[in-house]
A = this chain, B = another copy of it.
Amino acid sequence: MHDIIRDLNWRYATKKYDSSKKIKKNDLEIIKESLRLVPSSYGLQPLKFIIVNSTELREKLKPISYNQSQITDASHLIIICSYININTSHVDDYLSSILRTRDIAINEIEAFGNSMKTTIDKMKNEEKYKWNKNQAYIALGQLIHTCASLRIDATPMEGFNAKEYDKLLNLSDQNLSASLVVPIGYRHKEDKVQFAKKVRKSQDDLFITL
Contacts and interface: CB of A to CB of B under 8 A. Distances in A.
A63 interface: no
Contacts of A203: 32-33, 36
Interface in A98-152: 98, 101-102, 130, 133-146, 149-150
A8 B146 CA distance: 10
Copies of this subunit: 2
Given A9-B37, A158-B41, A197 B142 contact: no
A40 to B, nearest CB: 9
A143 B198 CA distance: 19
7 closest Cβ pairs, A-B complex: A141-B141, A137-B137, A145-B145, A141-B142, A138-B141, A8-B37, A50-B208
5 contacts: A33-B203, A48-B207, A137-B138, A137-B140, A137-B141
